[in-house]
Amino acid sequence: MDNEKPIVDFSAIRDALGKDFKPVQVMDGQANVVNEAIVSKYSNDQLVDFLKLMIWERTLHQRSNALTRQGRLGFYAPTEGQEASEMGSNSAMKSTDVLMPAYRDIPQLIQHGLPVYKAFLWSRGHVLGNEYPEDLHAMPPQIIIGAQYIQAAGVALGIKKNGTEDKVAYSYTGDGGTSQGDFYEGMNFAGAFQAPAVFIVQNNGYAISVPRRKQTAARTLAQKAVAAGIPSVQVDGMDFLAVHEVTKAAREYAAAGNGPVMIETLTYRFGPHTNAGDDPKRYRTKAEEQPWFDNDPLIRYRKYLTDQGVWSEDIENDYVDQVKADIKAAVKQADEAPKQKMTEFLGNVFEEQPQNIQQQITEYQAKESK
């Protein structure tokens, strides 16, 4: 019979998928506080420090952009628009937590302890940018999309096996990254082993030119964690306090031995994917971009704190000048890095040199001494 009801109504199930995920927000785009309890937890000084983190990231972005144009940086993935997502989450972590970053997570790496000049050397393609001191609990930025997620699961399992208390592994990927097998495998492993990992998806709308809606039919990216049996949440990624609070709660939950958590931040990449020839005009319209620009994560906190009388244009200008001076000093330090040597590269392939490498070291020694 044609109009007989099927045993299962798949359309209804599909329509319901992901409906439970509502973005967490603390302050809306007009600087209206929607969660008073959270805001009142913080002193004005603390809130100013948070705003400074975002302005620092914005300034770093602007300088990095200018430096790439001058040919003084190599690879650079713009971060403008993602300040609340990046700084909001990172500021909720401890310096002893292990950060597994991707190429757009340079600001978090720096806040986690990477000297700025090393970040610049990494961008230029110098190994010194990847030589991290032992107390910097992070790996260099990952280029292979998704790889950092499974590795974060491994770090988290290691933390658990070592019995280390109050420590988590955390990692970032983009909306595009959530399509990779590694993404699912990382979450599934961490879930299966109940390992202390915090997985952050920065949903900035695009994987290079591919919009989020073409990436997956899932209504939210947060719901992708459901299949791994781990809790997840969607958060307004332009809202620093919301991202910060959610990440802090996730960290506490994971560090307490409850297993991993996943967070999807709803944000936007204002500029191109990287500075190496990507042109967003090919795949985005002004009409789509403008509302996001108006929702700049700096605007609402700047307004709120200005209204409170604790922030002003003058304070901001002084602070930006100071950040610029630090960056200038870092560029100088990067410029002074010694030339990379093939003999050193060869020496770093293995701990003990086999004969083919020894021979090649001798060959390159001759060339380098010329």
Partner 1 sequence: MSKKTYIQAITDALRLELGSDEKTLIFGEDVGKNGGVFRATDGLQAEFGEDRVFDTPLAESGIGGLSIGLALEGFRPIPEIQFLGFIFETLDSIAGQMSRERFRTGGTRHMPITIRSPYGGGTHTPEMHADSLEGYLAQIPGLRVVTPSNPYDAKGLLISSIRNNDPVFFLENLKLYRSMKADIPDEAYTVPLDKANVVREGTDITLIAYSAQVNQSLKVAEKLEKEGISVEVVDLRTLSPLDEETILKSVEKTGRAVAIQEAQRQAGIAANVASLIAEKGALYLSAPVGRVSAPDTVYPFGLAEDDWLPAEDEIEAKTREILNY
**Which of 132, 253, 283, 364 is an active site residue?**
283
58 catalytically annotated:
no
Closest CA to 238 of 107, 94, 80: 80
- Shortest Cβ distance from residue 340 to partner 1 (Å)? 4
Residue 270 in 3-state DSSP? coil
**Block residue for tokens 């042109």:** 279
The answer to whether the beta carbons of residues 114 and 138 sit under 8 Å apart is yes
Rounded-to-integer distance, Cα 230 and Cα 198, Å: 10
Which range in 47-55, 59-67, 178-186, 191-199 contacts partner 1 by CB under 8 A?
178-186
**Alpha helices per DSSP H over 127-220:** 147-162, 181-192, 212-215
The answer to whether the beta carbons of residues 316 and 298 sit under 8 Å apart is no
Kindly state whether residue 329 participates in binding partner 1, applying the rule CB under 8 A: no
Kindly state whether residue 61 participates in binding ligand TPP, applying the rule CB under 6 A: no
Rounded-to-integer distance, Cα 8 and Cα 199, Å: 34
Interface with partner 1 (CB under 8 A), residue from 16, 66, 144, 227: 144
- Shortest Cβ distance from residue 88 to ligand TPP (Å)? 16
Which range in 79-87, 91-99, 201-209, 250-258 contacts partner 1 by CB under 8 A?
201-209
Q: What is the dihedral of CA 227, 233, 234, 237, to 10 degrees?
A: -130
Kindly state whether residue 207 participates in binding ligand TPP, applying the rule CB under 6 A: yes
At residue 299, φ and ψ (nearest 5 deg) are -60, -50
Interface with partner 1 (CB under 8 A), residue from 42, 103, 253, 319: 103
269 catalytically annotated:
yes
319 catalytically annotated:
no
Kindly state whether residue 204 participates in binding ligand TPP, applying the rule CB under 6 A: yes
For strand 98-100 and strand 169-174, is the pairing parallel, antiparallel, or unpaired?
parallel
Nearer Cβ to ligand TPP (167/273) = 273
The answer to whether the beta carbons of residues 190 and 151 sit under 8 Å apart is no
Interface with ligand TPP (CB under 6 A), residue from 73, 119, 145, 266: 145
DSSP symbol at 294: H
- The letter for the amino acid at 122 is W
- Shortest Cβ distance from residue 279 to partner 1 (Å)? 9
**Which of 112, 137, 212, 269 is an active site residue?**
269
118 binds, among partner 1, ligand TPP, none (CB under 5 to 8 A by kind): none
Rounded-to-integer distance, Cα 108 and Cα 54, Å: 11
Nearer Cβ to ligand TPP (89/343) = 89
Rounded-to-integer distance, Cα 226 and Cα 231, Å: 7
**Which of 61, 104, 273, 300 is an active site residue?**
273
Residue 195 burial (CB count, 10 A): 24
Interface with ligand TPP (CB under 6 A), residue from 19, 43, 49, 143: 143
236 binds, among ligand TPP, partner 1, none (CB under 5 to 8 A by kind): none
Residue 266 in 3-state DSSP? strand
- Read off the tokens for 175: 């909306």
Distance of CA 101 to the CA centre of its chain: 6
364 binds, among partner 1, ligand TPP, none (CB under 5 to 8 A by kind): partner 1
Give the DSSP H or E segment for 200: strand 197-203
104 binds, among ligand TPP, partner 1, none (CB under 5 to 8 A by kind): ligand TPP
- Chain residues that interact with ligand TPP, rule: CB under 6 A: 104, 143-145, 173-177, 202, 204, 206-208, 269, 273
List residues with catalytic annotation.
269, 273, 283
Residues contributing to the site for partner 1 (CB under 8 A): 74-75, 103, 124-127, 130, 143-146, 176-177, 179-182, 207-210, 214-216, 277-278, 282-283, 340, 342, 345-346, 348-349, 356-357, 360, 363-364
